């Protein structure tokens, strides 16, 4: 769709452009007139943003879990080594195993959190390009329509001026004629003729 739109690749960071689907101004301008392609891009962007949000949440949960496990391991190690509580060895091994799993999950999430912002930016850029194309098309169509409407308004204004001039001229002639008849024939005669000729008005 937006293959003709070329934008500076750093424009997102340089102009601090937000994620468009979360931007109120963008939504008010484009949400109602999105093309199929834009809807598809917006949906993919929405999914990636949700994925990133969930990854951040999981990352924080697992960091906290790692901290708790490390504290537990230190406590259990101290009990086993210093207080000869060998009965706690199974719990210690279990905690170490869980820590390895949590570390693996943290690594996965860290990798995801490195990749996702780039994917989000890519989709956001695509949506921006499509929005720019729509905007310029609407501006072009709008300017054409504005020109037509301006010409129509000028035409109507001229017609209105001509009609207004004609109205004023007619009013002036009617008043002058009536004044002439009144002055020439007198009030009584004009009154009789009014009833004869102007009764339908």
| pLDDT at res. 78 | 85
Is 113:52 a contact under the CB 8 Å cutoff? yes
Show the domain range for 171. 162-197
For the chain, 201 residues long, the average pLDDT of each consecutive 10-residue run is 74 92 96 94 97 97 96 89 80 94 97 96 95 93 96 96 95 94 92 84 58
Same domain (yes/no): 134, 167:
no
| pLDDT at res. 201 | 58
* Residue 1 forms part of a structural domain: no
Number of domain units in the chain = 2
* Residue 88 forms part of a structural domain: yes
Distance, CA of 178 to CA of 191 (rounded, Å): 11
Same domain (yes/no): 122, 176:
no
Same domain (yes/no): 72, 166:
no
Q: What is the largest CA-CA distance in the chain?
A: 139
Dihedral through CA 127, CA 130, CA 135, CA 137, nearest 10? -170
Is 80:30 a contact under the CB 8 Å cutoff? no
Same domain (yes/no): 68, 88:
yes
Same domain (yes/no): 102, 193:
no
Same domain (yes/no): 49, 88:
yes
Same domain (yes/no): 82, 166:
no
* Residue 2 forms part of a structural domain: no
Same domain (yes/no): 68, 156:
yes
* Residue 38 forms part of a structural domain: yes
| pLDDT at res. 200 | 64
12: CB partners within 8 A, 6+ apart: 121, 124, 125, 128
Same domain (yes/no): 124, 186:
no
Distance, CA of 58 to CA of 105 (rounded, Å): 9
* Residue 5 forms part of a structural domain: no
* Residue 74 forms part of a structural domain: yes
Distance, CA of 85 to CA of 76 (rounded, Å): 9
Same domain (yes/no): 53, 103:
yes
Same domain (yes/no): 118, 40:
yes
Q: Give, in degrees to the nearest 5, the angle at Cα 195 between 189 and 198.
A: 115
Distance, CA of 125 to CA of 116 (rounded, Å): 14
* Residue 3 forms part of a structural domain: no
* Residue 6 forms part of a structural domain: no
| pLDDT at res. 3 | 53
| pLDDT at res. 9 | 83
Same domain (yes/no): 139, 189:
no
| pLDDT at res. 1 | 45
């Amino acid at each position: 769709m937006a293959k003709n739109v070329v934008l500076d690749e750093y424009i997102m960071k340089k102009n601090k452009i937000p994620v468009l689907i979360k931007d109120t101004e963008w939504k008010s301008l484009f949400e109602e007139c999105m093309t199929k392609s834009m809807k598809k891009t917006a949906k993919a962007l929405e999914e990636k943003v949700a994925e990133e949000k969930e990854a951040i949440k999981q990352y924080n949960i697992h960091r906290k879990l790692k901290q708790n496990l490390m504290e537990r391991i230190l406590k259990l190690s101290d009990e086993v080594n210093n207080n000869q509580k060998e009965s706690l060895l199974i719990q210690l091994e279990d905690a170490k195993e869980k820590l390895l799993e949590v570390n693996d999950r943290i690594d996965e999430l860290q990798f995801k959190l490195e990749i996702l912002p780039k994917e989000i930016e890519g989709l956001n850029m695509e949506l921006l390009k499509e929005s720019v194309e729509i905007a310029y098309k609407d501006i072009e169509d709008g300017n054409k329509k504005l020109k037509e409407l301006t010409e129509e308004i000028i035409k109507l204004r001229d017609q209105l001026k001509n009609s207004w001039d004609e109205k004023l001229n007619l009013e002036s002639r009617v008043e002058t004629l009536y004044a002439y008849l009144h002055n020439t024939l007198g009030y009584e005669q004009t009154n009789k003729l009014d009833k004869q000729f102007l009764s339908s008005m």
